[in-house]
Amino acid sequence: MCGLTGILTNNSIESLQSDCSAMTEILRKRGPDDQGVWVDKNKGITLGHTRLAVIDLSKSGRQPMMSNNGRWVLVYNGEIYNHIEIRKELISLGINFRGDSDTETLLEAIATWGVENTVSKLIGMFAFAVWDSKLNLLSLVRDRMGIKPLYYGNFNGLFLFGSELKALRAHKGWSPCINRDALASFMRHNYVPAPMSIYQNVFKLEAGCILKVRLGEEPKINSYWSLSNIVQRASYNRIDFNDFEATNKLNELLLDAVGRRMISDVPLGAFLSGGIDSSLVVALMQAQSSSPINTFTIGFEESNYNEAEHAAIIAKHLKTNHSELYVSSDDALNVIPKLPDIYDEPFSDSSQIPTFLVSELARQHVTVALSGDGGDECFAGYDRYFLAERIQRSRKRLPDSFLNGLSLMINSIKSGRLRAFSNAMPTCLTDSKFGEKIRKIPDILLQNDDELYRYLLSHWKNPNELVLNSEEKKGAIWDEAIQGFLPEYIERMEYLDYHTYLPDDILTKIDRASMANSLEARVPLIDHRVVEFSWQLPLKFKIRNGKSKWLMRQVLQKYVPQELFERPKMGFGVPLDNWLRGPLREWADSLLNENRIRQEGYLNSKLISKKWQEHLSGKKNWQYYLWDILVFQAWHERWM
């Protein structure tokens, strides 16, 4: 795994080397093993790279790398898992190789077949920039699922790009300001959705896209892989498997996806929470390894947030080399000051904290770790899918008078009594967020399908009211055309999560948390072949007998007894509500100060003050709303 950056400009040609070196150096965490810069002053192009050596540790894997024919120069972040097969094909065409890196395989494939034809062959995660010196054309490419990040911005003849925003910020020509519309979107989602960034005129290249740009011209972007096309084709051509055939096919696909991601010239392991996704990845790793796999988990003293005990049971059964670390609230709180530097732009999924900590633990032992991310999107695993469907099914059977009465009754219950009721219930009937879920019922009872989905994924429900002088952009979650080719409600929610929540939240979180620790994280469950297969399946293979991920469970049962993994779903969270009233109180008070927010001029200070006081009093639990604000305020304090 690596960091890449570069400049295309007709300005400040003499400082290209030093400017790119400064941008590259700031990505050192992404690639601590090596660093390089390539410059062509005559054409105004420079490419920079920091390397985390994983495949071919020798100097023959150094970047930037020039093709054998001298036409192409490449900087690349990621892994090509089928590069050996591609290399054999190239060798059969007479191509010679200097080393064994997948970088060289990718580069010579581009030199032989071109950019578009090459990316269609790739199995992997990648973001890369390649310069064509014959056509004076720069191409930026991002993998199909958006696993690896790539930002770019155009500033009056200065085109900057990089793996993280901090690389662009390091250039002396950096001059953007906050995009208030993007800030409004952040307050809804807890991330800034692509293609926007938090800055005006700076963008994320979207998943499955190629950007091409020449000096002095506007960038042109095309999609080389479209989930929309995949889904629409699959909806007319569902696979009619029986249960046995479907289970074996998924097992075969996942064994290959996991096996490819176990290729490494450095120590390798996996994150293990004890849930279905990570347990399945570890089981498939161990099934293909002659020695115990390294597995890692962190635990919390707060039982509602602790999965370490479950992970230990799975690890013992699979006979992995298991490491666990119980972290205190102080350990977790010490991560918070680092967040603005790790994430570069406001990002407030609070599971960013334990994700950083487990990455930090893993990096003490390995350089590569496999993760179970993506299983929920592939096989309908999120609780909100079931909640939304049950609500809509129930709503159709109940009169409005009853729904209005129920809404009034729930709103009248004080938070203290709701918590006491939840605590008195048997743990098998509730979870750590029971009270929060009950609180949501009044607001969601009268929503239609798409409104309900937006409600369930939204933090601030009306962000334009919160962010001054903003107009939230209407993205995919407002696209009514999707219902035309995906009439099934749960599948529509899955599809929207693929487009938004998966790349912009889940994959952003794991990339930044792991790379901040110089750790490469690989995500086999969203191998594009697995994703395409999952969309060919009828919904009965995802949801059956009231349970999600039915087919994944069937595969996991081949390796782990059902009683070891069948338990209520837990999020990878932290007790924010209590922290904000306790150890984070002073920090939060400073950032949420009404006068300060009013003077900064971005947010509605009175609205925030009201929610902060309600939270402190215990009348309401506004933890996620307030965390969005706090993350933005901390980011603003650090960078603006």
The reported pLDDT for the residue numbered 441 is: 62
Read off the pLDDT band of 425 (50, 70, 90): very low
Band the pLDDT of 426: cuts 50, 70, 90. very low
Give me the residue label for tokens 């969203």. 526
Q: 524: cis peptide before it, omega within 30°? A: no
Average pLDDT in the 426-450 region? 58
Half-sphere exposure of 593 (CA within 13 A, CB side): 9
Look at 270-284, 397-411, 538-552 and tell me which has the smallest mean pLDDT.
397-411
Give me the pLDDT at residue 611, please. 97
Q: Is 49 exposed, middle or buried (0-12, 13-18, 19+ CB in 10 A)?
A: buried
Average of per-residue pLDDT across 423-432: 45
Predicted confidence at residue 415, as pLDDT, reads 61
Model confidence at 270: pLDDT above 70:
yes
Residue recorded with tokens 């310069």 = 131
Q: What is the mean pLDDT of residues 181-194?
A: 98
What average pLDDT does the segment 30-59 reach?
Answer: 94
Cα maximum dimension of the chain: 76
Q: What is the pLDDT of residues 590-605, one digit of tens each?
A: 999 999 999 999 999 9
Integer Cα distance of 523 and 507 in angstroms:
9
CA neighbor of 132 nearest in space, from 196, 187, 84, 66 = 66
Interatomic CA distance for residues 265 and 394, integer angstroms: 54
Element (H, E) at 431: none
Q: Is 189 helix (H, G, I), strand (E, B) or coil?
A: helix
Backbone angles phi, psi at 514, to 5 degrees: -75, -45
Can you give the pLDDT at residue 359? 97
Burial class of residue 17 (count of CB atoms within 10 Å of its CB; 0-12, 13-18, 19+):
middle
Cβ count within 10 A of residue 615: 21
Per-residue pLDDT, averaged over 361-390, amounts to: 92
What are the CB-based long-range contacts (under 8 Å, 24+) for 448-451? 449/388, 449/392, 449/483, 449/489, 449/492, 450/477, 450/478, 450/480, 450/483
Among 547, 539, 550, 626, smallest CA distance to 581 is for: 626
- Give the Cα separation of 154 and 397 in Å (integer): 54
Region 461-465: mean pLDDT is 96
SS3 (DSSP) at 391:
helix
Given this model, what pLDDT does residue 446 score? 60
Residue 332 · residue 361 · CB < 8 Å? no
Say yes or no to pLDDT of 135 above 80. yes
DSSP secondary structure letter of residue 603: B
pLDDT in tens, 59-89: 889 999 999 999 999 999 999 999 999 999 9
Please report the pLDDT score of residue 228 as a whole number.
92
State the chain's mean pLDDT as an integer.
91
**Residue 127 contacts residue 78 (beta carbons within 8 Å):** yes
Asked if residue 399 has pLDDT above 80, the reply is no
- At 429, the pLDDT band (50, 70, 90 cuts) reads very low
Query: For residue 167, is pLDDT > 60?
Result: yes
End-to-end CA distance of the chain: 29
Residue 316 has what DSSP assignment?
Answer: H
DSSP state of 502: I
Tokens for 635?
């980011």
Q: Which two tokens stand for residue 277?
A: 């996704």
| Active-site option among 2, 20, 209, 378 | 2
Q: Hunting for tokens 């919904």 — which residue is that?
A: 539
| SS3 state of residue 173 | coil
Neighbours of 638 (CB within 10 A): 12
Question: Tokens 């100060």 belong to which residue?
Answer: 593
How far apart CA 176 and CA 467 sit, in angstroms, is 18
Which among 384, 463, 439 is positioned nearest to 625, based on CA atoms?
463
209 is annotated as an active-site residue: no
Q: What is the pLDDT of residue 1?
A: 67
pLDDT of res. 203: 98
Position 546 confidence tier, pLDDT thresholds 50, 70, 90: confident
Does residue 262 have a pLDDT over 50? Answer: yes
What span, in angstroms and rounded, lies between the C-alpha atoms of 467 and 142?
31
Q: What is the tally of helices (H) and strands (E) in the chain?
A: 32, 17
